Structure 1
């Protein structure tokens, strides 16, 4: 593979921070977009940008920062990792502004970035949406989160049908990872999320993958020849 550069969202903590560390360990220059800065690393260029603000993201994409960063790369990776769980609870309890913010971050931002990366002149562009089993199953209290992840899955399916030269795309469920989001789930009100006890059991029984282990497996798959052969996949099966 020719020179590789990566664009990563949501790198300041959790899985995103682990992915940023793994990219640095492999010597891959990374442009990282997040509302807050994360730990500094060799080859990591951080941009503070609220990805739930679609107007701000559109304005940033209208500039030349992305193209300048990607210049000289034979392969550009996009890892759409940023996301949020809220709002959690029955549909009638979901505040419209919270719904709008979640869909902006979980759906609009990754689709906007995917379009921008797909338009780059690099010989190969690889787009990875970090999805979830919630995109493939319905969970009570998670209507907005499930809808957002399902949107990423179907975006990958449809984009793959375009058969764009040099573009590979996959919406990948990484499994259950021991991150702040899992802590949020376990702290959910039982009335808002009736399945909370299932996630408490996963933590109690040691069934959560570590962010570092998941990041290694995710990047290995992203760089492999198998990436993009299936537009929707589960990291535990590849």
Structure 2
């Protein structure tokens, strides 16, 4: 069944949160998904037999990712597809702290997951996919890429790197390649739980996010995933290298 699919996708961090919702939305539309995460998603596998392939991989381990990319699985997965999609969703808020309290090892791990992995996967996808086909790369960005937040310096820097990567790749004008770094809005995911569990000492704007959750200001991942996939498959995708999903929905 996999080889017959005209459109195939790779989704990082598909085991929970927005990643799980994005994978579910793609699978529900008949698009095959290769999910890359540290843990499998049993619910997705049961709901979409034959459409989901999973590979357990710690994307913060750049050497492990490089070794996997050097193998044949990615090229085998993309074989026969006319359109290939890459959603670089996996990321982390940690280390969420002011600069003096940041663990350098945690900084390195966060940048490997949030920056190195998306850039490595993007390059590998283009190299492994048919040149005559269409390739679409979506980086899941954040408003924090464009507005600094105290306590989120690593997170902000990582998301800003994705934005600028998309801008530079768009300038290359590679045939059949579209890319966008897209901020999805504020979602009701485990990351928001991390924010509420911290203190204002480490993240001074914590109370603002706590109130947002209390007032119902968080968007459900499934709702966001529906709109995000609509845009990913739209003819306008990639016209802007950097965008905000909330602006596109107006």
Which TM-score tier does this pair reach, normalised by the shorter chain?
over 0.9
Matched, 1:9 2:18: no
Q: Whole-Å Cα distance in 2 between the matches of residues 63 and 89 of structure 1?
A: 37
Residue 144 of structure 1: aligned partner:
154
Matched, 1:208 2:218: yes
CA shift for structure 1 position 217 = 0.4
Taking structure 1 as the reference length, the TM-score comes to: 0.98
Alignment of 1:37-56 (within 5 A): 37-38=40-41, 39=43, 40=45, 41-42=48-49, 43-56=51-64
Residue 237 of structure 1: aligned partner:
247
Matched, 1:132 2:142: yes
Residue number among 150, 156, 164 corresponding to 2:174 in the alignment: 164
Residue 26 of structure 2: aligned partner:
23
CA shift for structure 1 position 59 = 0.4
CA shift for structure 1 position 190 = 1.2
CA shift for structure 1 position 3 = 1.4
Matched, 1:225 2:235: yes
Q: Whole-Å Cα distance in 1 between the matches of residues 169 and 25 of structure 2?
A: 27
Q: Secondary structure at the match of 2:10?
A: strand
Residue 207 of structure 2: aligned partner:
197
Matched, 1:89 2:100: no
Q: Secondary structure at the match of 1:85?
A: coil
CA shift for structure 1 position 20 = 1.2
Alignment of 1:106-121 (within 5 A): 106-119=114-127, 120-121=129-130
Name the stretch that deviates more: 34-43 or 140-149: 34-43
Q: Secondary structure at the match of 1:140?
A: coil
Q: Whole-Å Cα distance in 2 between the matches of residues 89 and 209 of structure 1?
A: 25
For structure 1, which runs of at least 5 residues remain unmatched after alignment?
none
CA shift for structure 1 position 68 = 0.4
Q: Secondary structure at the match of 1:149?
A: helix
RMSD of the alignment, in Å? 0.9
Taking structure 2 as the reference length, the TM-score comes to: 0.93
Residue number among 60, 67, 79 corresponding to 1:71 in the alignment: 79
CA shift for structure 1 position 225 = 0.4
Q: Deviation above 4 Å: which 4+ runs of structure 1?
A: none
Q: Whole-Å Cα distance in 1 between the matches of residues 225 and 74 of structure 2?
A: 23
Q: Secondary structure at the match of 1:33?
A: strand
